[in-house]
Amino acid sequence: MTISIRFPTSRRPARAALLVAVLLALASAGCSSRGEVRDEPAAGAPDATVPAPPATDEPGPTAAERDFEALYGPVAADAAGPAGSNPRDPWEGFNRRVHRFNNALDQNVARPAAEAYVAVVPSPVRTGVRNFFSNLGQPVSALNALLQGKPVQAGQALGRFVLNATLGVGGIFDPATDAGLPHRSEDFGQTLGVWGWRESRYLELPLFGPRTVRDTFGLAGDAPLSPVRQIDDDVARVGTQGLQLVDLRTRLMAIDSLREGAADDYALIRDAWLQRRDYQIFGDRGRDDESGLPDYLLEEEPPTIPADSIPPGL
């Protein structure tokens, strides 16, 4: 199976900043090379994934890289860079150092917190928490879908939010799915891609994990619209952000064993994230048959640090 791998200006600024910095670490690692970047999909690419090549002494492509080639065509030879590099990751040395930092925070803070959360909180309650935070993101998704020229998806996201917020008791339950309203996950990074920012370099951020330069600007664009960031009380806001990040880390526990067995954890996370991001922005337009796609491309809500986690004032 292919993996799926998406301060405050307050009465107590120093203490709140420290609390949020710790809470942001709770999901960092899991959400957590030279040449020209090539983002545009090639026409006529086959649907099936490319089979893995025979084992050799040289490092081969990851599963995500093979999936990318199957969907969008091969990267040009003169853009491939040195052996083992990724043309979309010219800052690989810096990104790997940040990845090690994020992994250390994950192993010492985020993963133990997620394991304790799973052990103490019953599954139905965890599902309700996940539904609640998922529903909070639907207004931002609706706005970005509209900006991308997707009025139907915008209406579905907005309708889903209203239905779950009312009949679903604030979003804890999910009657919208039973009503046939699909979950939509759109953000400003995707909007910038649709508007024409097709080429963007990979960048792993401390605490916030995988991004591109484009998606870093997109994160800042979504942040002012975050409902969580509108909470005035510092303690309530930081507590809500912390719960959201712990829930996010629990969603990554299913792939921990796959990551531990990877020859290069950094390349695994990077390539899977870039592959999924390309599909979110470009691949879901004009593609009717999704039966042959990897699971991580089809997951509507990727496990990435949300804009809600950016503290007010930034």
Q: Which residues, in sequence order, are CB contacts of 68 under 8 Å at separation 6+?
A: 271, 274, 275, 278
Confidence at residue 65, expressed as pLDDT on a 0 to 100 scale = 52
The model carries a pTM of 0.69
Q: Of 26, 3, 29, 28, give the one whose Cα is nearest residue 266.
A: 29
Confidence at residue 185, expressed as pLDDT on a 0 to 100 scale = 87
Residue 3 DSSP one-character state: -
Q: Is pLDDT at 184 greater than 60 in this prediction?
A: yes
Confidence at residue 90, expressed as pLDDT on a 0 to 100 scale = 94
Angle at 187 between CA 210 and CA 21, to 5 degrees: 50
Q: Is pLDDT at 292 greater than 60 in this prediction?
A: no
Per-residue pLDDT of 47-78, as tens digits, reads 444 444 444 454 555 555 555 455 444 543 33
Distance CA 169, CA 85 (A): 49
Percent residues over pLDDT 90 in the chain: 44
Residue 52 DSSP one-character state: P
Residue 242's CB: how many other CB atoms inside 10 A? 18
Confidence at residue 126, expressed as pLDDT on a 0 to 100 scale = 95
- Report the mean per-residue pLDDT for the chain: 75
Q: Which residues, in sequence order, are CB contacts of 289 under 8 Å at separation 6+?
A: 47
Distance CA 64, CA 70 (A): 10
Q: Which two structure tokens, joined as six digits, stand for 202? A: 């990979």
Half-sphere exposure (Cβ direction) of 8: Cα atoms closer than 13 Å: 25
Q: Of 222, 196, 198, give the one whose Cα is nearest residue 278.
A: 198
